[in-house]
Amino acid sequence: MNLKHLLLIIFLSPIINQKIHAQDWNEFANTAYYSKANLELKLHSENKNRVVFMGNSITEGWVNIRPEFFNNRDYINRGIGGQTTPQMLIRFRPDVIDLNPKVVIILAGTNDIAGNTGYTSLETIIGNIKSMAEIANANGIEVIISSILPAIEYLWKPGLNPAQKIISINKELKMYAEKNEFIYLDYFSAMVDENNGLKVPDYTAADDLVHPNKKGYLVMEQLAEKAIEKALARKK
């Protein structure tokens, strides 16, 4: 190998590594998942009172179980099943900021507790949600921070005892929202049972324990619409 080739490799290595790492992060966050839908939205959709629902499978499943909640409204669902807060934070710009919504509803954290992308401390989970809220706020978007829904067990990862962790995170999120004049959307209190789990069979199935059923989503819709109305009133 001559000197010219060696210098070329040294020069190109950081660029190649940077491209590889960029691809890794995009794949990690699945930024391509909504890329086509986002482009269509920006090209062909009028933005009046757009609201983006940012979340995981609970958000993504909402549009499948209750499509009528999203139809004929400027409600944009940007949930991806299984995602954790660092993944959402990475895709927050293309899936929220670049869509120029009036309001964002952030529902996140339960998959972090489950360890879907490895161990994440409660402080980091809260910090990632705060970061999303502050990025939205800096871009003139009204912020609604949702409580994590109750969960007594993750059947795909049993033995983690998530209930008290969820309660702790929700307490911190509520205090943070109030301090920063964000809206706190409390699904937890409306859907919890006596064991701090999601009510069975009212709002979830016994073989699930995490994802709402139709009746559960109806409860969430009533609460979400009140929060959205409050948020949009601030934009006037």
Number of domains in the chain: 1
Q: What is the CATH number of the domain that holds 89?
A: 3.40.50.1110
**What does the pLDDT read at residue 25?**
82
**What does the pLDDT read at residue 126?**
98
Query: Is residue 79 domain-resident?
Result: yes
Query: Is residue 159 domain-resident?
Result: yes
Query: Is residue 10 domain-resident?
Result: no
Query: Is residue 208 domain-resident?
Result: yes
The answer, yes or no, to whether residue 51 has pLDDT greater than 60, is: yes
Query: Is residue 63 domain-resident?
Result: yes
Select the more confidently predicted residue: 235 or 184: 184
Query: Is residue 195 domain-resident?
Result: yes
The answer, yes or no, to whether residue 68 has pLDDT greater than 70, is: yes
**What does the pLDDT read at residue 46?**
74
Place of tokens 């409050």: 230
Model pTM score: 0.90
Query: Is residue 9 domain-resident?
Result: no
Q: What is the mean pLDDT of the chain?
A: 91
- 133 closest CA partner among 178, 168, 164: 178
The answer, yes or no, to whether residue 9 has pLDDT greater than 90, is: no
**What does the pLDDT read at residue 16?**
35
Distance of alpha carbon 5 from alpha carbon 90, whole angstroms: 36
- 78 closest CA partner among 51, 40, 111: 51
**What does the pLDDT read at residue 180?**
98
The C-alpha R_g of the chain, in whole angstroms, comes to 20
Q: What is the pLDDT of residues 20-48, one digit of tens each?
A: 455 588 899 999 999 999 999 988 777 78
Beta-carbon count within 10 A of 122 CB: 15
Q: Are 185 and 224 in contact (CB under 8 A)?
A: yes
**What does the pLDDT read at residue 12?**
41
Q: What is the pLDDT of residues 136-187, one digit of tens each?
A: 999 999 999 999 999 999 999 999 999 999 999 999 999 999 999 999 999 9
Distance of alpha carbon 135 from alpha carbon 91, whole angstroms: 12
Q: What is the mean pLDDT of residues 57-65?
A: 98
Query: Is residue 20 domain-resident?
Result: no
DSSP 191: H
**What does the pLDDT read at residue 23?**
54
**What does the pLDDT read at residue 19?**
43
Strand partners, 145: 106, 184
User: Can you tell me whether residue 119 is helix, strand or coil?
Assistant: coil
Percentage of the chain beyond pLDDT 70 is 90
**What does the pLDDT read at residue 18?**
45
Domain that holds residue 72: 31-234
**What does the pLDDT read at residue 24?**
87
Q: Are 41 and 99 in contact (CB under 8 A)?
A: yes
**What does the pLDDT read at residue 235?**
82
Residue 140 parent element (H or E) = none
